[in-house]
A and B are shown apart, each in its own frame.
Chain A
Amino acid sequence: MAERGGRGSGGHGSLDKSITLPPDEIFRNLENAKRFAIDIGGSLTKLAYYSTVQHKVARVRSFDHSGKDIENEPLYEISVQEEITARLHFIKFENTYIETCLDFIKDHLVNTETKVIKATGGGAYKFKDLIEKKLGLKVDKEDVMTCLIKGCNFVLRNIPHEVFAYQKDSDTEFRFQMNHPNIFPYLLVNIGSGVSIVKVETEDKFEWIGGSSIGGGTFWGLGALLTKTKKFDELLQLASKGQHTNVDMLVKDVYGGAYQTLGLSGNLIASSFGKSTTADKEFSKEDMAKSLLHMISNDIGQLACLYAKLHNLDKIYFGGFFIRGHPVTMRTITYSINFFSKGEVQALFLRHEGYLGAIGAFLKGAEQDNPNQYSWGENYAGSSGLMSTSPDVYPMQRTRSGTFDMLEMDRLERPLVNLPLLKDPSTYIPDTVDLTDDAMARKYWLTCFEEALDGVAKRAAASQPDSIDALERAEKFRQKYWNKLQTLRQQPFAYGTLTVRSLLDTREHCLNEFNFPDPYSKVKQKENGIALKCFQSVIESLDSLGWEERQFALVKGLLAGNVFDWGAKAVSDVLESEPQFGFEEAKSKLQERPWLEDSYSQWLERLKEGPPHKCALIFADNSGIDIILGVFPFVRELLSRGTEVILACNSGPALNDVTYSESLIVTERIAAMDPVIQSALREEKLLLVQTGSSSPCLDLSRLDKGLAVLVRERKTDLVIIEGMGRAIHTNYYAALKCESLKLAVIKNSWLADRLGGKIFSVIFKYEVPCK
């Protein structure tokens, strides 16, 4: 395949047919692959398999300090261990490559337990013998529609920005929607050669409620007859250049110029092809293709609306090869739905629409592994992302043919659920700024991430001084993330709504991809050790203050701690160059009150006048000074007031954010020094939990189930969110059912400027839900 796989029906030039990536980068982790599924459509094949990925994770382990000199030992031991996680691979390619691909798979398939391949799609029958011969697996056919719906439910549940509306004439071509916590019921309109309209009510309950024979096959078949153009994509190309008004009879053609008197738009089509009712006129291919496209799109939209009305449904997802990423058809369908529903229903599309059948077939075959029991997350490092095929969006983009598109889903260790305290889970949007929408902010942040990349790569390499290939891997990481950033510059919608969070998460995924599970582990270890040594003196000085003074000092300490953020370039530069930069220096950097966002007085009033909170949930940010000298004294004060505290830290590493396992060790150390913390731990008034996340940001709709249970059990009535990533980039506008504190120091001058402040401006947002 390296010598170019294009021996199918060519005609398109060899360039299109070349495989753009080496096969081992396409069919990844084949060695451990099992549970194959394949969906063969009219022109594209989608392959799915389950595999396990062995990758390195950073572990921290407390030393046994008995009889040792604590002073000169590191706080804890860091080890890198191998961990095996489950990953789903989905690969989409043109049918012409099927034989080459099967050969490659056969050569690399080590797992001999696999006996069966699940197959679906119209082409499954045609290629049955080939697959059985090549792979030596028995082909087990699954119902197309069942697979489609299973796949659809899966992506709706597991990919937050799966659904989008198409808006051609706006700045953002794709408008993503947060998934509604309740995905059912919905209407799936699958436009293949014909149209199937399926009502989906629950995971297992769906019903074919109707259909139409006028679909993609009609466009293709009738289009080929009318224009002598053979290929579907070429027909769409023709259509996008045509003028349908030369072929269609419009209302104004029937009414003359007087249609205004009717309240009808004269441009409405009265009769499709109504002007071609003559034998002696020639019509251009483009015009006929355009007219045909409108006729079919309008008809499908009309029927979809009629069915939606009859069944009282307002979510309509469109899929099938007629839609599959084609801006032309998404546009006409969107128009039609808007027209026939009078704007009441929005046509919705799915980012992974092409994979639904393969995902569903795979799930059918994997039922014994219970994949629906887990939460899954899209791996940005290994997924190609959505590509617009609109030529005016990105002229340099890869062509549709000759490319391999990939989707990888990682099984998450823990099931994720909504924070029960969200005011309205169905309207919650974690991210504060939509970079797909905000071109200026997008430009800034992409550049910002580009500029920080060399430093991140350097730190990654430095974090593994004993590894001989660390430099090489760091370079690969740099290249990969750089490419992602370039893709996102051209196609900001590739992975759903582009946000600072998604940029950060993508970087984490890329780091993990090249086995840099925790580049800041050493930094964190050192900083935790240093901060612990200062803990007692900080507590003593706090305890010497009067009540009101102390409250302010606690908040200031929390904010100063938050300055220690290796993710912020302004800070990391300081930390690199001034090793003595400490807690007091950080305090002096802080903006004086009144802060940029300042409801401290209300907070103080609340502490003074109100009863103690029942239970506070705190989302911690950084390791070291932040958690130890900022958060813990604050926690201690809450505990002293009789408020229980749930301290939530990330499950996996991200930047220098404190992880759950680090927080366990740190807490243990603090407890050894501090009786308040110690007794709170013993009496389970201080609880440490993990968030389920490995992101420097915070998505309150995807949190560890254990955390959610605890929050409910303890009747949590205060949520404290700390740090730029969690309280500004995300959740700045998040509305909760209970009181909340969002606090952060703005360590980025551009962002500060945007919010109307300067670098090191303070956000202190105390919110009480309106009754």
Chain B
Amino acid sequence: MEPLRNGGGAEEKPRRRGAAADAGPQRRRSSAAAGVDSATGPQPHERGGSASRQRRDSVRKNRPLFPWFGLDIGGTLVKLVYFEPKDITAEEEEEEVENLKSIRKYLTSNVAYGSTGIRDVHLELKDLTLCGRKGNLHFIRFPTHDMPAFIQMGSEKHFSSLHTTLCATGGGAYKFEQDFRTMGDLQLCKLDELDCLIKGVLYIDSVGFNGHSECYYFENPTDAERCQKLPFNLENPYPLLLVNIGSGVSILAVYSKENYKRVTGTSLGGGTFFGLCCLLTGCSTFEEALEMASHGDSTKVDKLVRDIYGGDYERFGLPGWAVASSFGNMMSKEKRESVSKEDLAKATLITITNNIGSIARMCALNENINRVVFVGNFLRINTISMRLLAYALDYWSKGQLKALFLEHEGYFGAVGALLELLDSA
């Protein structure tokens, strides 16, 4: 008897960041103090190379060696953040080893890498101070299935000779650890996914988005005409419900920067939307799926309350426009034959989004939290879902719950991994 598999995972161990992690420099709520120079700690790695290779500046300041990366290897996408120092002195420049320079140039002068890697230029954080260094933070992503090519490239560019630590989080940090070691001669520093996520969210929100607010919400989400995106001040963020929508969904209740728990999760996430769209429409990219969805009409696919009751179901206070059965119209052969691929893509998007909203809302009620922050790459270029989440949360909670969003959607885990690298120094 094959055991039943289940989704999402619901282990609910309260997670408090241990004392060991706290020993490192803490992020501060003001950006200026982000890099703390005075902290002492061991070098992140013991493999001391020859003295000539040690860049004196880093050693003196107890900073990790350049390059500074944070890596988040998810089920579908790899998120990479790269800190490009802009305050390199002439002396430094001279000492900079060739392959480090070439990595910097390669990453910062391109917006696309290979056929699938993309730098989200619009997300770049400028003039950031990290560990006393000024620079820009770059946000890069590529599909997880290109991970072997990435490792291969690292190997070809003799990344290991830089003696840097590569901090990585996400499931792929475990899955590809062996490949990093054997193919790339690289030792990964594996980091907890949820620790990194929360660290990243709190940090990016604290530094802001190039002078703008990182966090935003939709005003009048229930009114299509008057709905608008507005900045939200997340200065006192706790408690908050953090809903991370990647391939699957994780839901965390965050009570302080060190006290949070994973409330639940669901396997109906971005991967489900994209996976079903591929099967239903034959599309091959997430962007394509979203594009199709934006031209579709889900009410042809879904059975609405009004399709069953002719209008509102007053007995239960259900509005006629509410979806009674996702894909419910597809029980009928005639209707199956009359819908377009766009309609199916839209219905898939609406189904997954509503379901996430519904589970998030129930978790918020059970945890008695009224601010819900949605992150994750499912929301990238996905205004339909964000507005629907905002609307659904507002409508079904009668205005009690607020849906919040962050500009850097899916990059927080990678940012958190980078911060762990700096903290460990």
Residues of A in contact with B (beta carbons under 8 Å apart): 42, 122, 143, 145-146, 168-169, 192-194, 196, 208, 210-218, 220-222, 224-226, 230, 243-245, 247-251, 253-259, 261, 263-265, 267-280, 283, 288, 294-295, 298-299, 302-303, 306-307, 309-310, 331-332, 335-336, 339-340, 342
Contact = CB atoms under 8 A, between A and B. Distances in A.
Candidate in B325, B328, B329, B344 with the most chain A CB atoms within 10 angstroms: B325
A344 to B, nearest CB: 12
Contacts of B280: 225-226
Contacts of B247: 249, 254, 270-271, 274
Given A254-B75, A299-B355, A302-B359, A271 B331 contact: no
Contacts of B268: 214, 272, 295, 299
B354 interface: yes
B3 interface: yes
A256 B336 CA distance: 39
B171 A193 contact: no
Given A298-B6, A303-B358, A310-B366, A214 B326 contact: yes
B174 A194 contact: no
Given A254-B171, A288-B279, A194 B333 contact: no
A218 B176 contact: no
Given A225-B330, A254-B171, 16 more contacts: A145-B316, A214-B351, A216-B325, A217-B326, A217-B328, A218-B325, A222-B326, A255-B171, A256-B174, A256-B176, A259-B174, A265-B9, A268-B7, A268-B267, A298-B8, A299-B355
B5 A245 contact: yes
Nearest to B339: A225
B10 A339 contact: yes
10 contacts: A168-B1, A194-B303, A213-B355, A217-B328, A220-B330, A255-B171, A271-B246, A277-B275, A295-B7, A336-B6
A641 to B, nearest CB: 61
A283 B267 contact: no
B213 interface: no
A213 B354 contact: yes
Contacts of A210: 358, 362
A168 B4 CA distance: 11
Interface residues of B, number: 73
Contacts of B327: 217-218, 221-222, 225
B226 interface: no
B327 to A, nearest CB: 4
Given A288-B279, A306-B362, A269 B333 contact: no
B362 A294 contact: no
A445 to B, nearest CB: 29
B5 A225 contact: no
Interface in B371-397: none
Candidate in B282, B328, B333 with the most chain A CB atoms within 10 angstroms: B328
B315 interface: yes
Interface string B64-103: 0000000000111000000000000000000000000000
Interface string B223-254: 00000000000000000000000111000000
Contacts, number: 253
A306 B267 contact: no
Interface string B412-424: 0000000000000
B317 interface: yes
A303 to B, nearest CB: 7
Given A222-B330, A271-B75, A217 B358 contact: no
Nearest to B274: A277
A276 B176 CA distance: 21
Contact of B9 (A143, A251, A261, A335): A251
Nearest to B344: A225
Contacts of A146: 315
B266 A302 contact: yes
B111 interface: no
Contacts of A275: 275
A331 B171 contact: no
Q: Which 3 A-B pairs have the closest CB atoms?
A: A256-B175, A221-B330, A273-B275
A208 B275 contact: no
B60 interface: no
A277 B362 contact: no
A182 B100 CA distance: 74
Nearest to A193: B325
A690 to B, nearest CB: 43
Contacts of B366: 306, 309-310
A265 B10 CA distance: 11
Interface in B1-59: 1-11, 13
B183 interface: no
Contacts of A261: 174
Nearest to B277: A277
B288 to A, nearest CB: 9
Interface string B275-293: 1101110111000000000
A273 B8 CA distance: 13
A299 B302 CA distance: 18
A87 B354 CA distance: 46
A274 B10 CA distance: 19
Contacts of B246: 271
Contacts of B362: 210, 303, 306-307, 310
Nearest to B247: A271
A217 B335 CA distance: 13
B269 A271 contact: yes
Given A193-B324, A269-B267, A299-B266, A276 B275 contact: yes
Interface string B108-147: 0000000000000000000000000000000000000000
